[in-house]
Amino acid sequence: MTSQPTPTKAASGPGGTGEPGGGLQAGLKNRHLSMIAIGGVIGAGLFVGSSSGIATAGPGILLSYALVGTLVVLVMRMLGEMSAANPTSGSFSAHADRALGRWAGFSIGWLYWFFWVVVLAVEATAGAKILEGWIPAVPQWGWALIVMVVLTATNLVSVGSYGEFEFWFAGIKVVAIGAFILVGALAVFGVLPGVHSDKAGLGNLTDHGGFLPHGPGAILTGVLLVVFSFMGSEIATLAAGESEDPQRAVTKSTNSIIWRIGVFYLGSIFVVIALLPWNDPSIKDKGSYVAALDSLGIANAGQIMNFIVLTSVLSCLNSGLYTASRMAFSLGQRGDAPKAFAKTTSRGVPMAAIVVSVVFGFVAVFFNYKFPDSVFLFLVNSSGAVALFVWLVICFSQLRMRKIIQREAPEKLVVKMWLYPYLTWATAALIVFVLGYMLTDTEHDGRETVLLSLMVAAVVLVIAVIRQKVGASTSSVRPVAAAEPRDEDPVKVG
């Protein structure tokens, strides 16, 4: 058991510290934050979802990953600018609250919470399928229950226990994908001892119908298939609020995201495509990474990859529960969720926020088993475009927050968005374009995903506007005892 740092109050955003526990505490060490930042980029979707992208775009899927990766780098730079100036457990939701208005913070915060509690069900089911294959005596629903209970327990103990679990989960992912890239690269160049593959070679990038066998339009279709596997990059900015030096943690994770995406996404996908022709049937049948390992004759490649995918699933579950609970905690602090969500235990754990998040996750797991093609499919599709909504809100928040920070606390601009405001506007335009292109996609359910996500977002937005109007009318009839802050007043940073 590793020793925990002496608890200190962490930056927890506006609205107090969530008595009686005294608020969130700085229980995450630097090594935890570093691995959370790295692991947040490597989602389970990279391992299990890349095969459909390769089949759709061929080697051109590299451009799809590069385009989305660039988008994520730019968005994270904006988020890093705001979070380094004001680290908070609510991250972009709290920034939107300050920059755009309470309606924005409420809406994007609840949508983000909804996204992650649905992910809990998706990942719990994926992990349960793997575990049932290993130990069939325990039914799939039993494994899903066990996994959810264990990770809920670790989150309830302390933020340090979450950090420790995530450190090892993410560490396994990083080592595994690093080894895959190294072994694959040696095989591609014909220098891997004891292995000779007739299919491996750089010629796979162009020999089978060209680099873009389905035309340039397939790049954008590929974007739709891979964009959601990048969700999770922002977790480090939420977790930074519970570290000993939040500003340093945010700055470090923001500055390192370029090489993380370049190595883990572009590097590994490049190796897959170089090891096998993009149209090899095994990529679709077995999955891209398993097929690549099998092509090298590595024994038990499927089970090795199942272990890696299981680790990624557990990591995603662990972080998803943490992220959902901290967003609920922040919403509770700001009065946008029940006050109980903002209360913490003596260990600085928001117990109510964790329990509510996991209960919804359990309900979603039940829907997945009972109504997989109706209720659960609706939940998944209606949360599918939330990642793009979050990124868009980050763009508009940064446009306002830069001016506020420059006016109120310019010394806190330790991370700056490049070419402000032009690159911010260009990023926002690209996100809107991707959303628009999804509306034309009927083959991969892009249109349904956007429309259902917009419907849910509209409902949440209507609730936010009504709450704000009711709150304004209530405050207008109260006797004025002192000057109260108004929406148009300058927003303090820090």
**Residue 137 belongs to domain with CATH number:** 1.20.1740.10
Maximum Cα interatomic distance, the chain, rounded to a whole number of Å: 83
Examine residue 421 and say whether the peptide bond preceding it is cis (omega within 30 degrees of 0): yes
Residue 475: the pLDDT is 55
Structural domains counted in the chain: 1
Q: Which two tokens stand for residue 336?
A: 């946008």
How would you label 290-318 residue by residue, b for 16+ Cβ within 10 Å and e otherwise?
bbbbbbbebeebeebbbebbbbbbbbbbb
Model confidence at 472, in pLDDT bands (50, 70, 90)?
low
Degrees, nearest 5: CA angle 226-232-235: 165
pTM: 0.86
Model confidence at 492, in pLDDT bands (50, 70, 90)?
very low
User: How many Å apart are CA 249 and CA 37, to the nearest integer?
Assistant: 9
Model confidence at 476, in pLDDT bands (50, 70, 90)?
low
Pair 261, 69: CB distance under 8 Å: yes
Question: Residue 67 domain-assigned?
Answer: yes
Question: Residue 435 domain-assigned?
Answer: no
- Please give the backbone phi and psi of residue 196, each rounded to the nearest 5 degrees, phi first: -135, 120
**Tens-place pLDDT, residues 356-374:** 999 998 898 888 888 888 8
Q: Which two tokens stand for residue 307?
A: 């272990």
Question: Residue 122 domain-assigned?
Answer: yes
Question: Residue 443 domain-assigned?
Answer: no
User: How many Å apart are CA 255 and CA 268, to the nearest integer?
Assistant: 21
Q: For residue 349, what are the CA distances in angstroms to 203, 395, 432?
A: 53, 30, 37
Q: What is the mean pLDDT of residues 223-232?
A: 83
Q: What percent of the chain has pLDDT over 70?
A: 89
Degrees, nearest 5: CA angle 27-410-261: 55
Closest CA to 11 of 80, 78, 91: 91
Question: Residue 270 domain-assigned?
Answer: yes
Pair 84, 78: CB distance under 8 Å: no
How far is C-alpha 193 from the chain's CA centre?
Answer: 38
**Tens-place pLDDT, residues 247-273:** 888 888 888 888 888 888 899 999 999
Q: Is residue 482's pLDDT more than 50?
A: no
Q: What is the mean pLDDT of residues 23-47?
A: 75
Return the bridge partners of 25, or none: 9
Question: Residue 2 domain-assigned?
Answer: no
- Please give the backbone phi and psi of residue 18, each rounded to the nearest 5 degrees, phi first: 70, 55
Model confidence at 93, in pLDDT bands (50, 70, 90)?
very high
Domain that holds residue 409: 30-425
Share the mean pLDDT of the chain. 84
Q: Quickly tell me which residue has 């919470």 as its tokens.
A: 113
Question: Residue 46 domain-assigned?
Answer: yes
Question: Residue 235 domain-assigned?
Answer: yes
Burial (Cβ within 10 Å: 0-12, 13-18, ≥19) of residue 36:
buried
